[in-house]
Amino acid sequence: MGEEASAEPPAAPAPEVNSAEQDQALQERIEQLRQALLNSHRLRSLPNASLDRVQRLIPLAEDYAYRSENPEMTATRLFNLIELIAQRSAYLALLAEYPDTLARVARIVSASPWAAQYLAQYPLLLDSLIEWHSLMEIPDFAALSEQMCRDLDACRLPDGQADVEQQMNMMRDWQHQITFQLLAQDLEGVLTVEALADQLSALADMMLAETLERTWPLTRPRSLGPEHDTPPRFAVIAYGKLGGKEIGYASDLDLVFLYDDPSQDNVERYIKLARRMTSWLSAMTSSGRLYDIDLRLRPDGDAGLLAVSVDAFEQYQTRSAWSWEHQAITRARFVTGDAQIKERFDEIRRSILLMERDRRKLRADILDMRDKISAGHPNRSELFDLKHDRGGMVDVEFITQYLVLCHSREHPKLLENLGNIALLGIAAQAGLIAVDHAQEVADAYRALRRRQHALRLEGAEKARVPQTELTQERQAVTRLWDEVLGY
């Protein structure tokens, strides 16, 4: 058949809908949302005073919704929040007394479904929206740590003992408050993705330090009085996203616990401390949880002890660790604990990265691990997975790790845990990769992270985009992969 005969007939023009009809349809949908809210079980069971407050709030919420880019979506999220807090009269009173706060709520929930869910989950955060100027200030973690410590010290039972349950809840409230502060700044465009990750990592570091401080006394034997106890010879090492200071809002923490104590009597106490810290961080309380914790990167993985001695850690890394474990240590860093263990860990990490390696074997090991990651994260969709697919973020991380493991002996600047972008620049300055290729991949990595972050804020379960997106960035990553590792 000829080309003309096979061509599809032109599509019929879409029926015109005038603006008045669109406005009427929108008003009807929002009215349906209003009626659904008023007929909900939570509102029907309210006392008259609270119901009156809700009925005064609804027109304000509708007004702010109409001012947003997507009024129906914003109204849905605002009404959902109002329904969730309706039985807590203090929050209704707050929104009624401070109408600007409701306007700020509307701005936040319209910008991100993830932010809307976070605010609905932790309505205590509404208080922070009253002082918008304070919310836009970059956190001073030194001052915040001191204040949190004082607040936690004040959590006491009638007998003078620490109120552990109250302390755990208070730390979660602090974490939620600072996270929300960063989230508000993020949505306002105050923070880049890199700056946000730095701040979230500093927050996690602060929480880990305080958790160690609070849990150590809980492991003290009854026979040992507090006046005779000594600081723990114990340290928390961060791996993965926290190790590289690249965590996001919902990242889990990859941790390894080390101790260095000549007394064998304390070994069980350090293992108990590791268990208590993990529980303190990850337990679900009435205020939620601090972080999900992953301890699988410790020596021998799930089969290993929760806390290991520095000597055992060094022996394992030197004699038994797989190449992928040496890849992981490129991003590891000391977070909190004993200063002497920090020095030991830094020395061990340095010696591991300076080891002579069979580059052909290392390359084969890294390619094998890359294949395993692909198999473990199959993508059967027609979309591109920003993290796990070829040309994605994992490829950039593996390229950087290979360069560090292969070339740190000749170029010791690569030993520093500076992040993928900075390390690519150092590798280029050393002549290991082309300068323009390093810059292209650094820019690609930033773009991939920005897109991943945007998808997370949109509430996406998986960071995947159409194949037509980020094609130049993916090509840049694939080109450098072929140059450095090759398939």
Q: With contact defined as beta carbons under 8 Å apart, do 202 and 141 qualify?
A: yes
Nearest-angstrom CA–CA distance, 278 and 281? 5
Do 92 and 128 fall into the same domain? Answer: yes
Residue 334's Cβ-side half-sphere holds a number of Cα atoms within 13 Å equal to 20
Last residue of a domain, which of 134, 169, 202? Answer: 134
The pairing of strands 307-309 and 234-239 is unpaired
Residue 141 lies inside a defined structural domain of this protein: yes
Residue range 390-435, pLDDT digits in tens: 999 999 999 999 999 999 999 999 999 999 999 999 999 999 999 9
Do 308 and 375 fall into the same domain? Answer: no
User: What pLDDT shows up at residue 7?
Assistant: 41
Q: With contact defined as beta carbons under 8 Å apart, do 364 and 447 qualify?
A: no
Q: What percent of the chain has pLDDT over 70?
A: 96
User: What pLDDT shows up at residue 111?
Assistant: 96
Last residue of a domain, which of 134, 168, 200? Answer: 134
Residue range 172-227, pLDDT digits in tens: 999 999 999 999 999 999 999 999 999 999 999 999 999 999 999 999 988 777 77
User: What pLDDT shows up at residue 3?
Assistant: 39
Do 307 and 210 fall into the same domain? Answer: yes
Residue 461: exposure state from Cβ atoms within 10 A (0-12, 13-18, ≥19): exposed
User: What pLDDT shows up at residue 264?
Assistant: 81
Nearest-angstrom CA–CA distance, 297 and 358? 23
Q: With contact defined as beta carbons under 8 Å apart, do 294 and 237 qualify?
A: no
Residue with tokens 């050393």: 430
User: What pLDDT shows up at residue 20?
Assistant: 84
User: What pLDDT shows up at residue 1?
Assistant: 37
Residue 16 lies inside a defined structural domain of this protein: no
E-strand ranges in 330-418 read 333-337, 383-385
Can you say whether the dihedral through the CA atoms of 72, 75, 80, 81 is positive or negative? positive
Nearest-angstrom CA–CA distance, 372 and 322? 14
User: What pLDDT shows up at residue 17?
Assistant: 55
Residue 11 lies inside a defined structural domain of this protein: no
Residue 8 lies inside a defined structural domain of this protein: no
Report the residue count for the chain: 487
Do 169 and 293 fall into the same domain? Answer: yes
Residue 405 lies inside a defined structural domain of this protein: yes
Alpha-helical (H) ranges within 122-163 are 132-135, 141-153
Residue range 466-480, pLDDT digits in tens: 999 999 999 999 999
Do 222 and 308 fall into the same domain? Answer: yes
Q: What is the CATH number of the domain that holds 278?
A: 3.30.460.10
Do 214 and 82 fall into the same domain? Answer: no
Confidence (pTM): 0.93
Residue 32 lies inside a defined structural domain of this protein: yes
Residue 455 lies inside a defined structural domain of this protein: yes
Q: Which residues of 163-192 are buried (b: 16+ CB within 10 A; e: fewer)?
A: eeebbbbbbbbbbbbbbbbbbbbbbeeebe
Last residue of a domain, which of 353, 374, 409? Answer: 353
Distances (CA, A) of 224 to 211, 217, 451: 21, 10, 53
Nearest-angstrom CA–CA distance, 360 and 407? 13
Nearest-angstrom CA–CA distance, 62 and 78? 9
Do 321 and 394 fall into the same domain? Answer: no
> What secondary structure does DSSP assign to 217-283, as a single string?
GGG--TTS-GGG-----EEEEEEHHHHTT---TT--EEEEEEE--S-GGGHHHHHHHHHHHHHHHH-
Nearest-angstrom CA–CA distance, 342 and 346? 6
Residue range 247-294, pLDDT digits in tens: 999 999 999 999 999 888 899 999 999 999 999 999 999 999 999 999
Q: What is the mean pLDDT of residues 143-166?
A: 97
Q: What is the CATH number of the domain that holds 414?
A: 1.20.120.330
Q: Indicate the average pLDDT of the chain.
A: 94
Q: Which of 62, 56, 51 is nearest to 103 (CA)?
A: 62
> How many CB atoms lie under 10 A from the CB of residue 128?
18
User: What pLDDT shows up at residue 213?
Assistant: 97
How large is the angle between the packed helices 99-111 and 89-97, nearest 10 degrees? 100
Residue range 338-365, pLDDT digits in tens: 999 999 999 999 999 999 999 999 999 9
Domain that holds residue 154: 136-353
Nearest-angstrom CA–CA distance, 176 and 362? 42
Nearest-angstrom CA–CA distance, 17 and 400? 54
Residue with tokens 């319209």: 110
Q: With contact defined as beta carbons under 8 Å apart, do 332 and 256 qualify?
A: yes
Q: With contact defined as beta carbons under 8 Å apart, do 217 and 226 qualify?
A: yes
Distance of CA 9 to the CA centre of its chain: 50
Q: What percent of the chain has pLDDT over 90?
A: 90
pLDDT at 12 over 50: no
Do 105 and 148 fall into the same domain? Answer: no
Do 146 and 106 fall into the same domain? Answer: no
Do 307 and 290 fall into the same domain? Answer: yes
User: What pLDDT shows up at residue 21?
Assistant: 86
pLDDT at 170 over 80: yes
Do 315 and 456 fall into the same domain? Answer: no
Residue range 100-152, pLDDT digits in tens: 999 999 999 999 999 999 999 999 999 999 999 999 999 999 999 999 999 99
Q: How many domains does the chain have?
A: 3
Do 204 and 265 fall into the same domain? Answer: yes
User: What pLDDT shows up at residue 16?
Assistant: 54
pLDDT at 336 over 90: yes
| pLDDT band with cut points at 50, 70 and 90 for residue 2 | very low
The pairing of strands 464-466 and 383-385 is antiparallel
Residue 3 lies inside a defined structural domain of this protein: no
User: What pLDDT shows up at residue 166?
Assistant: 98
